[in-house]
Amino acid sequence: MEDLILISAYCNTKEKEEILRNLVTQINTQSQNLDIMVVSHTPIPLDIQDKCNYSFYDSKNELLYDWDLRSKPWFDPGNERPILSCLTAHYNTHLAVWRLIILGNSIASHLKYNKVHHIEYDSDIQDFSEIYDNSKLLDTYDCVVYNKQEYTVDDVLFGTYQSYRLDTLHPELLNLDEENIKSQIKNSPHRSPETMLRNLLYHTNNYLVKPKSVLDVNNFFGLSHVEEDKGTAWCLPYYDKLTDTLEFIVWNMEGLSDTDVTLVYNKNQTIDLGTTKPKLWKSYSLGKYDDASTLMVLLNNKIRDIYNFDSYREVFKLNSYRESSKRIVTEKVVKE
């Protein structure tokens, strides 16, 4: 049986539909070797369905808004102590994305596929050599994944593309249990979908990790991030465990335009943080955390968030904070 390309999709604009259309067309040119399945939280246009072997629309697209269910990414300004915060986004799509993947895996397993290449829809694949190489490697390994950080053992899984076998796949990636997924997110210290996926894919300890740089040759990923400006993620307050203070960080990581931020602290103090240029960051100390009552954040003259620390003083400290010590990353030893 042919390998299956499993595409997870959410195309809520015509531009995103066109990105999916282009990807399916690209894979369709390899149709003698690769079957295509699209699983989407938005209806799939008929012309795209006609180019697929299977297409499934799932109307449920549950977003997770609770703080203890949002992802908690990290940023380490100055390489001193990392900041971890769930406030980079107003909701988490983890459950919605995993629902698509698990439903796709389950259907593929019933259809007797074994080798699956999962790829997110907003990709442009012009070179299929990695997919074909991974297909051969799956004769030996249970999964092949890509590591964003090539020179450390602190693996950061590239979540957009993985290849794996269904006969050895962890049951949690074959059988949908949404309450279990929520529980695992809530009890995870990082709440990272990439880390949680990596742990499940590695469960047989028979995996191969490649550097993402080899995948990037003539291929492009995350195209919807370019098409849709979601705003500045790192524009938020956090509790500093070392100094017991409330701090604020702005990191213009998206780099699309200048970012202007104004804070209204405790309803009577206005703080103009000025302009943060693309790719740069700045921070500001608001003083002792126990003195903090309210904070309104204006991003480019629009209200981004309003915080009432008296309502969740201890909970906030658990969900947006800076560690008290430096993050340790172990370097790989590269042999000549």
Q: Which domains does the chain have, with CATH numbers?
A: 3-66+91-225 (3.90.550.10), 230-322 (2.60.40)
In contact, 157 and 198? CB cutoff 8 Å: yes
In contact, 178 and 240? CB cutoff 8 Å: no
State the number of CA atoms in the 13 A half-sphere of 83 facing the CB: 23
**The pLDDT value given to residue 156:** 78
Report the distance separating Cα 103 and Cα 100, nearest Å.
5
Q: How far are the Cα atoms of 143, 208, 233 from residue 28, in angstroms, in the given order?
A: 24, 27, 36
% the chain with pLDDT above 90: 79
Token pair belonging to 317? 């400290």
Residue 213's contacts (CB-CB under 8 Å, 6 or more residues apart) are 150
Q: How far are the Cα atoms of 248, 288, 319 from residue 316, in angstroms, in the given order?
A: 13, 14, 5
Residue 152 gets which letter from DSSP?
A: B
What pTM, to 2 d.p., does this model score?
A: 0.85
**The pLDDT value given to residue 330:** 41
Mean pLDDT across the chain, nearest whole number? 91
Burial of residue 242 (number of CB atoms within 10 Å: 0-12, 13-18, 19+)? exposed
**What's the mean pLDDT in 160-175?**
97
Burial of residue 201 (number of CB atoms within 10 Å: 0-12, 13-18, 19+)? buried
In contact, 9 and 24? CB cutoff 8 Å: no
Pick from 105-109, 164-168, 172-176, 324-328: least confident: 324-328
Report the distance separating Cα 238 and Cα 317, nearest Å.
7
Report the distance separating Cα 301 and Cα 272, nearest Å.
11
